[in-house]
A = this chain, B = another copy of it.
C-alpha cells in the first residue's frame, strides 16, 4: 500500500521545496556547515499547528518514519506471500515469478540509489552531520566487502552455469543474476560512501527509498533461507531448483562432465551462505541510515575520535582462541567427512557435542568474568543517542532468540523422551550450555557497548615516538624485530590488568564465535542430524523449528563477532 506514503512524501516535498528556497537565499554565502540557519526542519501536512518549529520537526520525523515503515511492511508481506506460495504451490507461483518481483524491486532500488548519489546528496546542506558510530571500518571492510564480493561471485557462477546449460534454460535466467550483480555493486558503493550520512533534505523520499531497499534485502534473505533449506542436500536441491524452473525437462539439464561446470556448481554451494549473511548486513546498515535521516548531531559528539583496531596488548586470548579454532576446524572436517557418508556414526556426534561442551562453559565463564570486570572498572556509561548501538543490542537479543528457542525445544524433547544414553545426555548438556553461553555473552557485549571509550593518551604518544618504516638490511631487520617485540611487551605491561583481561577475553570470544559461525554455516547441524528431536516432534515440525532458528543462530554468531570487536577496541 504505497499510496498514502507516496502522497505524503509528495506533499512533504512541496512543503520543503519552498522552505528550502527561502533557506538557500539566506545561506548561499554561509560557509560554516553547522550554522543554525542551514537546518532543514522537516514538515508534514498532518502537523502544521505546533507551537515550535522544533516540535513540528520531531512530529514530522515520526510521521515520515511511520509511513515509510508501513511501505516496507507492505512490500515485505507481499514478498513473503509470494515466496510462501512458491514453496507450497509450485504450479501457480514459480521461482521465476519470485525472481521477477525481486528484480523489479532491485531495479527500483538501483534507480533510487543513483538518484541519491546524483541528486539528493549533492544538494546544498544535504549532509551536515555524519554518524561516527555507523558503518565501522570492519563492518564495511570485512562484512560488506568480503560478503558482497562473494555474493557477486556467486551470481557470476550462476551466470556461467546457466550459460553452459543454456539449451535447457530460458534466457531470463541469465538476466536475473545480471540485475543482482548490478544491485549488489551499486549497494556496496552506496553503503561504503554514505553509511554515516545524516541526510537533511528530501527526508520522506529518502526514507521511502531506504525502506524499499531494506525490504528488498530482507526478501532476498528470506528467499535464500527458504531456498537453502538447511544447506542440506545442496546439490540435489540445486537440481530441484532447476526442475522448478523448467518444468518437465529435468532429464536434459544435468551438468556435463566438464571441470568448469563442476567448479561453478561447487563454488555456488560454497558461496551461498555469504550471500545470505550479506543481505542481513545490508538491511541493518540501511536501517541505521534510515534512523539517521533528519538527525542532527552535536558538533562535539561528531568529532569524537574513534579508536583504531590494534592487536597490541593481547597474548593469551589469541593463543587460546587459535587453539580452539584449530581443534574446531578438525572436528568440523571429521564431521563433514562422516556426514557425507550415508550412515553417519554416533561417534562423530559424540565428538562434536564434547567439543561444544568443553568450549561453551569456557566462553560463559569468560563472559561472566568480563561483566564483573566491567563492573569493577571506573568508566562512565555512555547514554548518548546512538542508533547503531541500539540496533546492535536489538539484533543481538533477537538473533539469540533463535538459538535459545531451538535449545528449549531440544531440552523438552530430550527430557521427555527419557532415553538415558550418552548421546542423549551430551545433547542435553549442549542445549543447556548454549542458552547459558548466549545469555552471558549478550550481557557482556551489551554492557561493553555502553561503556564510554577513553582515548589512551599514553598509547597515542608511544605510537608517535615510533620511527616510520624504511628499507633495511638483515641486521637492521633483526634489530627491528627485537625492538618490535620489546615495544609489544611494553604496551602489554602498560595496560592496566583490567583492560588487558577485557581485551584477552573479547579477543578469545571473537575467535570462538568465528569457529562457531563456520560450523553451522558450512553444514554441521547435529541438532537436525542426531534424530532425537526429529523423531520426537516429527520431521516437518522440527524442520520448521530448525529452519527458523538456525539462520538466526548463524547471524547471531556473526553479529556477536561485530559486537565483541567493538568491546575489544574500546576496552
Contact = CB atoms under 8 A, between A and B. Distances in A.
Interface of A: 1, 4, 45-51, 55, 58-59, 66, 70, 73-74, 77-78, 80-82, 84-85, 88-89, 92-93, 371, 374-375, 377-381, 383, 401, 404-405, 408-409, 411-413, 416-418, 435-436, 439-440, 443, 446-447, 450, 536-538, 541, 545
A371 B8 CA distance: 13
A4 B443 contact: yes
Contacts of A374: 46
B51 A380 contact: yes
B378 A49 contact: yes
B417 A537 contact: no
Contacts of A439: 1, 4, 70
Contact of A408 (B4, B77, B93, B371): B77
The 9 closest A-B pairs by CB, nearest first: A92-B416, A81-B412, A49-B378, A77-B408, A81-B408, A46-B375, A81-B409, A88-B537, A88-B541
A50 B383 CA distance: 12
- Number of copies of chain A assembled together: 2
Contacts of A450: 59
A383 B371 CA distance: 36
A450 B73 CA distance: 22
Contacts of A401: 73
A184 to B, nearest CB: 27
Nearest to A381: B59
Contacts of A48: 375
B55 A381 contact: yes
Contacts of A73: 401, 404
A435 B381 contact: no
Contacts of A74: 404, 408, 435
Given A85-B409, A85-B536, 9 more contacts: A4-B443, A73-B404, A78-B408, A81-B405, A81-B408, A84-B412, A84-B541, A85-B537, A92-B536
Nearest to A77: B408
A51 B378 CA distance: 10
Given A381-B59, A439-B70, A82 B412 contact: yes
23 contacts: A1-B439, A4-B439, A4-B440, A45-B375, A46-B375, A48-B375, A49-B377, A49-B379, A59-B450, A66-B446, A80-B408, A81-B409, A81-B412, A82-B412, A84-B409, A84-B541, A84-B545, A88-B536, A89-B538, A92-B416, A92-B417, A92-B418, A93-B416
Nearest to A91: B416
Given A404-B73, A536-B92, A85 B413 contact: yes
A46 B371 contact: yes
Nearest to A380: B51
Residue from A59, A377, A443 having most chain B Cβ neighbours under 10 A? A443
Contacts of A436: 1
Contacts of A51: 380
B89 A537 contact: yes
A60 to B, nearest CB: 11
A417 B81 CA distance: 14
A405 B412 CA distance: 30
A78 B383 CA distance: 34
Contacts of A537: 84-85, 88-89
B46 A383 contact: no
Contacts of A77: 404-405, 408
Contacts of A66: 443, 446
Contacts of A49: 377-379
A229 to B, nearest CB: 15
A450 to B, nearest CB: 8
B412 A93 contact: yes
Contacts of A411: 78, 81
B1 A89 contact: no
Contacts of A404: 73-74, 77
Residue from A93, A381, A404 having most chain B Cβ neighbours under 10 A? A381
A205 B45 CA distance: 46
Contacts of A413: 81, 85, 89, 92
Given A48-B375, A375-B46, A536 B89 contact: yes
Given A66-B443, A409-B81, A447-B46, A538 B88 contact: yes
B81 A380 contact: no
Nearest to A92: B416
